[in-house]
Amino acid sequence: MFACLQQLKRKEKEIEVEMQKLSRDKILAQERIAGLRRELMQMGIKPDWSQMMADMEEEGTHSDSTDTGASRHWSAYLTH
């Protein structure tokens, strides 16, 4: 019983460490996205984020393959 509890505590600690890592990774990704958006704005490029996200969600629900490529070229979402 004691060994089982120790094993559970170790697993809990591993999961906690993984959650912290994922949290840091998410923050870094959000900061990167914000930086890229700022760069696009400085270049006068205004992507259609809502359409892009809708297309990505649709691809995710209708895709049977592991291909994550966009069905439309990225430039299709840009307006100047």
**CB neighbour class for 60 (10 Å; exposed up to 12, middle 13-18, buried from 19):** exposed
- Report which of residues 48 and 36 the model is more confident about: 36
- Report which of residues 55 and 30 the model is more confident about: 30
In the chain, what are the domain boundaries? 2-60+73-79
Alpha carbon of residue 39 to chain centroid:
19
C-alpha distances in Å from residue 77, one per residue of 14, 46, 52, 74 = 41, 8, 7, 6
pTM beyond 0.75: the answer is no
**Residue pLDDT, tens place only, 38-54:** 999 899 988 888 888 88
